[in-house]
Amino acid sequence: MVRSIILRGFDKMSAEMIDEHMVRKGVKFIREALPTSIVKQEDGRLLVTYTGAGGVVGTEVFDTVLSAIGRYADVEGLNLPAAGVVVGKDGKLTCVNEQTNVPNIFAIGDVISKAPELTPVAIKAGRLLAARLFAGSTALMDYKMVPTTVFTPLEYGCVGLSEEEAIEKYGEDRVESFLSGFMPLEWKLTDHRASDTAYAKLVCDKEADLRVVGLHFVGPNAGEVVQGYAVAMKMGATYRHFQDTVGIHPTAAEKLVQMESEKGC
């Protein structure tokens, strides 16, 4: 059951590929819907009532329901306003380098507004903050170049900006994207993957020597692939740096260093 679109905030083209793949493999999406109640029936099955597009109410019975309810910043019980800490309308804290508006009060993790809600992000930010407070360090947390992976049946890994975010930030004329659809060798050996396609994309800033500001990979072992490329991107890698790198054959990851034409395939 999808409220609006899957993988909101991620690269649109990459998300659409995952959507199409899951539908092709037999996943049924109930779109533009939200559950309103889940009631156990006499036979143990679950009757789900939901509102759909235009307020239409629907029902369906399922053997099992997994409810992904999300999460929110649980700061209300801390009585932060009494300490002078400003809590935003989203229930989170606006921080600069983990520091709230009160100089001696800091925050890390999911309670920070506009920070990625990822456990490794909170761990890294906490370690860097502790080093600055107690060990004389000046190293700051980078919330922009954070690699992450969505472990959907067709894995999706990314780091940096989506194409839509890059266009919003720099303007369409300044963004150049290189992409390629391909069939990984390991998929060619089995008939059940014959209809699947992997996909790689580099989003580049034309005014910074085609610096790669976004990398997106949809395919096998996406997390392993993106983790390595994330280091290069934090170091300011450009499209030419990717092109000058020798690929490891035969791997899916080599496709990212072989894309020769803009929006090619």
Instruction: State residue 225 phi and psi, 5-degree precision.
Output: -65, -50
- Closest by CA to 193, choosing from 232, 220, 233, is 220
Helices (H), the chain: 12-24, 119-134, 163-170, 185-188, 222-234, 239-243
Enumerate residues 6+ apart whose C-beta is below 8 A from 225: 157, 217, 219, 252, 253, 256
Instruction: Respond yes or no: is residue 249 known to be catalytic.
Output: yes
Q: Of residues 21, 192, 216, 249, which has the active-site annotation?
A: 249
Q: What is the dihedral of CA 237, 242, 243, 249, to 10 degrees?
A: 160
Active site residues: 249
